């Protein structure tokens, strides 16, 4: 008798779970379908601004800039290479000491 009641209770729980899921899905479907709006096309993008015409004395300007800044650029590159070398050598020394050799 007890097994029969457990089977009935289990079948009733499964049935209620199925019906509840079905009703929940139906409810969400009805709520979501009420807020549907037609899809709008994205706004047209403006065309990019036209670039100005090339200047007449561009070569002179480029040469002057190169003369003024080539030395600082070279110095900065040398400093960067020196900094990299110091970091690499420091890391190698640290690894050598950590390995216990």
| For residue 8, pLDDT beyond 80 | yes
| For residue 101, pLDDT beyond 90 | no
What pLDDT, in 10s, does the model give residues 67-93?
Answer: 777 777 777 888 888 888 887 777 777
Q: 37-76 burial by CB neighbour count: b if 16+ within 10 A, else e?
A: eeeeeeeeeeeeeeeeeeeeeeeeeeeeeeeeeeeeeeee
What burial class does residue 16 get, using C-beta atoms within 10 Å of its C-beta: 0-12 exposed, 13-18 middle, 19+ buried? exposed
Average pLDDT over residues 58-66: 75
What pLDDT, in 10s, does the model give residues 24-57?
Answer: 998 888 777 656 666 777 777 777 667 666 666 6
State pTM to two decimals: 0.33
């Amino acid at each position: 008798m007890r097994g029969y009641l457990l089977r009935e209770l289990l079948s009733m729980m499964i049935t209620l779970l199925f019906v509840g899921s079905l009703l929940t899905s139906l409810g969400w479907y009805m709520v979501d379908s009420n807020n549907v709006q037609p899809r709008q096309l994205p706004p047209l993008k403006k065309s990019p601004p036209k670039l100005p015409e090339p200047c007449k004395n561009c070569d002179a300007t480029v040469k002057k800039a190169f003369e003024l800044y080539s030395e600082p650029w070279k110095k900065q590159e040398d400093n960067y290479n020196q900094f990299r070398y110091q970091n690499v050598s420091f890391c190698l020394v640290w690894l050598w000491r950590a390995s216990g050799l």
